[in-house]
């Protein structure tokens, strides 16, 4: 019988990932620094945590690299151009289209669904989940949960019929370097609706009041506080359901500039609160 009591589901943000297409979700890659540091904080309790990753970069990565190779005779090698193609185009490509012609949105969400399905069979239909999401990954997870909740608001039945797969057992959401606000300027402030608490099918002891923790470094131009983007988000911050927490990440070379965006995975100011939330969940299971 599995010793696991909960799952952590980590999702990366913009940019290429140097992992193969068949990489098991249970083997930490991009989140290995956070995984190892959290493990040292938890000690033996880490054996009760199933750690999984959602890796979606390959959906776009092949086309991006093919394009860069095709234009190299004209542009030469340009790191800035590669950054734009392999990072900013991720954000530009991830969007639903009314005519359904862009399949990237659905393909990325299917990667999320596949990992959550693994969690279901590994731990159970009501397994508590902690989501840790970097950068664009926070927007992806917010959209994934929002779409499931919108289906219910419009009178539909739960899409999967299993609480963990319907994202109703999310005990906590941790976003860092999160850029959700930059995707919302196209909507009037009064029309912006955050996701609702995704913990309705958990025991009351796991329905934490502060269920969304958002961390950002002021030097990270891709990480933002959530509260100021709309009154609905501001209300959740005001009641303490969402916390916007400024932290310092990176090192002497990156901590004072935009390269801090990739520094969260190793930062004590992130891995300690992640470990604390895991410990809270384990104690309440």
The 10s digit of each residue's pLDDT in 20-35 is 667 889 999 999 999 9
Average pLDDT over residues 183-197: 93
Cβ proximity of 241 and 272 under 8 Å:
no
Structure confidence by residue, pLDDT tens digits, 103-139: 889 999 999 999 999 999 999 999 999 999 999 999 9
Two structure tokens written together for 33: 């620094």
Beta bridge partners of 53: 10
Lowest mean pLDDT among 17-21, 45-49, 159-163, 168-172: 17-21
Mean pLDDT in residue range 221-235: 95
Helix ranges restricted to H, the chain: 32-42, 58-75, 79-83, 89-93, 104-123, 136-153, 231-239, 268-284
* Beta strand 49-54 pairing with 170-176: unpaired
Q: What pLDDT is recorded for position 86?
A: 64
Q: Would you give the end-to-end CA distance of the chain in angstroms? A: 17
Buried b (16+ CB within 10 A) or exposed e, 43-61: eebbebbbbbbbbbbebbb
Is a pLDDT exceeding 70 seen at residue 251?
Answer: no
Strands 49-54, 129-134: pairing is unpaired
- What is the C-alpha to C-alpha distance for residues 232 and 159, in angstroms, rounded to an integer? 26
Residue-level pLDDT at 30: 94
Report residue 237 as tokens: 């911050």
What is the average pLDDT score of the chain? 89
* DSSP structure class, residue 15: S
Q: At the top level of CATH, which class does the domain 6-284 belong to? A: alpha beta
Distance of CA 89 to the CA centre of its chain: 18
State mean pLDDT over 170-176: 98
Helix (H, G, I), strand (E, B) or coil at 54: strand
Does pTM surpass 0.85?
yes
| Mean of pLDDT values over 82-106 | 74
Looking at the predicted structure, is the pLDDT value of residue 211 above 80? yes
Q: Which of 41-45, 80-84, 263-267 has the lowest mean pLDDT?
A: 80-84
Pairwise CA distance, residues 212 & 191, whole Å = 21
- CA–CA dist 32, 207 (Å, integer): 28
Residue 258 has pLDDT above 60, yes or no: no
In whole angstroms, what is the distance from residue 127 CA to residue 269 CA?
A: 27
Query: What's the pLDDT score for residue 175?
Result: 98
**pLDDT interval class at 254 (50, 70, 90):** low
Domain residue ranges in the chain: 6-284
pLDDT of residue 255: 54
pLDDT at 1: 46
Q: What is the mean pLDDT of residues 240-244?
A: 98
Dihedral, 184, 186, 137, 34 alpha carbons, nearest 10? -40
pLDDT at 226 over 60: yes
């Amino acid at each position: 019988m599995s010793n696991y009591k909960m799952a952590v589901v980590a999702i990366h943000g913009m940019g290429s990932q140097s992992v193969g297409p068949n990489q098991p979700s249970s083997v930490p890659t991009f989140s290995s620094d956070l995984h190892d540091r959290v493990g040292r904080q938890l000690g033996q309790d880490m054996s009760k945590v199933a750690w999984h990753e959602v890796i979606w970069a390959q959906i776009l990565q092949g086309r991006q690299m093919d394009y860069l190779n095709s234009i190299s005779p004209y542009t030469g090698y340009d790191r800035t151009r590669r950054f734009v193609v392999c990072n900013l185009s991720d954000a530009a490509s991830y969007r639903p289209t009314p005519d359904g012609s862009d399949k990237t949105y659905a393909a990325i969400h299917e990667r999320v669904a596949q990992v959550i399905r693994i969690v279901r069979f590994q731990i159970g239909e009501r397994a508590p989940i902690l989501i840790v999401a970097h950068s664009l990954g926070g927007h992806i997870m917010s959209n994934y949960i929002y779409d499931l909740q919108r289906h219910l608001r419009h009178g539909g039945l739960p899409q999967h019929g299993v609480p963990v797969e319907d994202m109703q057992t999310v005990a906590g959401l941790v976003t860092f370097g999160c850029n959700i606000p930059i995707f919302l300027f196209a909507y009037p402030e009064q029309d912006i609706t955050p996701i609702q608490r995704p913990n309705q099918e958990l025991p009351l002891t796991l329905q934490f009041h502060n269920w969304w923790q958002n961390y950002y470094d002021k030097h990270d131009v891709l990480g933002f506080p959530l509260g100021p983007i709309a009154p609905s988000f501001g209300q959740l911050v005001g009641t303490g359901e969402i916390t916007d927490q400024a932290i310092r990440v990176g090192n002497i070379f990156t901590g004072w500039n935009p390269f801090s965006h990739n520094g969260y995975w190793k930062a004590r100011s992130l891995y300690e609160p992640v470990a604390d939330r895991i410990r809270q969940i384990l104690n309440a299971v």
